[in-house]
């Protein structure tokens, strides 16, 4: 009798364990399925390498090809991060790092020189989920300013650091510090000499400054979790004086991200973008008037900024993966990729 009871107990226990195991498997499966379903379909990324007066007549076929290849290289790296489950922050930082490390753009290596023949770099980053942001201004030794801006956001209670203080903070954060000579390229030295020569004949070389290609770089991204991020990095304006600061490090002017609406990175004549609070204005038009990102960008760039005499452009991506690449100039180095892997690379405004 005892033996029969024991056998029955073992059978019951076996069934309990079996059902428990299957239940755990079902629970794990459902949890994984839920996590997968929580990922959005329309993730994407957009980059720019500056807007300006570039034209087919001025651009050699060789340089056209070089810029397009670099833009394609950068956008593919950022896209790969998003495709593999990386965050929008990671994609933005890495994409901008690559452009900062290239001498093709006015950011990091190859940045323009101020009136004293020195480098002054600015950058900002914003997280659309938390609305946290970080910026650095007027630095001369930080190899990758966008990474410093992110560290300000992550590891300080502040939003913006300037000059030597920003450099000291970045060094404490373990970021790479370089000799200022690292950033210099002959093209920028010649550019400054040319402007200074013309400056002797005029108190303000307005037309010459307008014709300089704005090589500011930027990136906006939407990741699989539905989070937006925006980053922008620049060397500012050639021959700038008196520690002039443009729109790039000003949150809401040259850079903005909000998960409710969009992520925006701007490039152009900074003073006009500050006065129009361009990046935030696009977001506000979307949030309060219900405009599409393409509509809001067009109004701000081609009506508001243009009306004041400013020129430049923006890139943007909204919470649904829709993108905008708006400009009122002859061109803007730009590229984007969607979740399907479709890639678009453009330079001129009529493309």
Q: Which amino acids are annotated catalytic?
A: 216
Q: Among 229, 321, 319, 234, which residue's Cα sits nearest to residue 273? A: 234
Do 109 and 183 contact (CB within 8 A), yes or no? Answer: yes
Do 314 and 300 contact (CB within 8 A), yes or no? Answer: yes
Residues 6+ apart with CB under 8 A from 332: 48, 49, 50, 51, 52, 267, 313, 325, 346, 347, 349
Q: Among 253, 231, 265, 49, which residue's Cα sits nearest to residue 153? A: 231
DSSP assignment, residue 119?
Answer: -
If you search the block for the tokens 């790039």, which residue do you land on?
248
Q: How far apart are CA 89 and CA 219, in angstroms?
A: 10
Q: Among 192, 201, 181, 180, which residue's Cα sits nearest to residue 238? A: 192
Residues 6+ apart with CB under 8 A from 89: 125, 127, 150, 227, 229
Kind of pairing, strands 160-162 and 133-139?
parallel
DSSP assignment, residue 310?
Answer: -
Q: Among 49, 84, 86, which residue's Cα sits nearest to residue 341? A: 84
Residue 149 dihedral angles phi and psi, to the nearest 5°: -60, -40
DSSP assignment, residue 237?
Answer: -
For residue 134, give the 3-state DSSP assignment.
strand
Q: How far apart are CA 334 and CA 320, in angstroms?
A: 20
Structure tokens at 192: 């400054």
Q: How far apart are CA 71 and CA 93, in angstroms?
A: 15
Structure tokens at 272: 């006009």
């Amino acid at each position: 009798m005892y033996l029969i009871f024991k056998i029955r107990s073992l059978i019951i226990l076996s069934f309990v364990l079996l059902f428990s195991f299957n239940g755990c498997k079902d629970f794990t499966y459902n949890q994984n399925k839920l996590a997968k379903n929580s990922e959005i379909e329309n993730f994407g990324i957009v980059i720019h390498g500056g807007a300006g007066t570039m034209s087919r007549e001025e651009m050699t076929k060789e340089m056209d090809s070089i810029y397009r290849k670099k833009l394609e290289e950068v956008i593919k790296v950022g896209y790969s991060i998003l495709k593999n489950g990386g965050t929008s922050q990671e994609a933005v930082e890495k994409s901008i790092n690559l452009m900062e490390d290239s001498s093709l753009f006015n950011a990091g290596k190859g940045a323009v020189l101020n009136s004293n023949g020195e480098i002054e770099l600015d950058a900002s980053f914003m997280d659309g989920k938390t609305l946290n942001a970080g910026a650095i201004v007027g630095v001369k030794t930080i190899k990758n300013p966008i990474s410093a801006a992110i560290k300000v956001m992550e590891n300080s209670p502040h939003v913006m650091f300037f000059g030597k203080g920003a450099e000291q903070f970045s060094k404490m954060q373990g970021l790479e510090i370089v000799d200022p000579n690292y950033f210099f390229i002959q093209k920028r030295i010649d550019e400054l000499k040319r402007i200074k020569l013309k400056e002797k004949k005029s108190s303000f070389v307005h037309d010459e400054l307008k014709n300089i290609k704005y090589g500011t770089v930027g990136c906006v991204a939407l990741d699989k979790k539905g989070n937006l991020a925006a980053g922008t990095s620049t060397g500012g304006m050639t021959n700038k004086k008196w520690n002039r600061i443009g729109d790039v490090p000003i949150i809401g002017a040259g850079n903005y991200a909000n998960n409710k609406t969009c992520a925006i990175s701007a490039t152009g004549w900074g003073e006009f973008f500050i006065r129009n609070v361009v990046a935030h204005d696009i977001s506000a038009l979307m949030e309060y008037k219900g405009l599409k990102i393409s509509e809001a960008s067009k109004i701000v760039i081609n009506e508001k900024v243009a009306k004041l005499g400013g020129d430049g452009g923006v890139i943007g991506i909204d919470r649904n993966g829709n993108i905008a690449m708006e400009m009122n100039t002859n061109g803007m180095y730009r590229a984007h990729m969607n979740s399907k892997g479709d890639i678009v690379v453009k330079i001129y405004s009529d493309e």
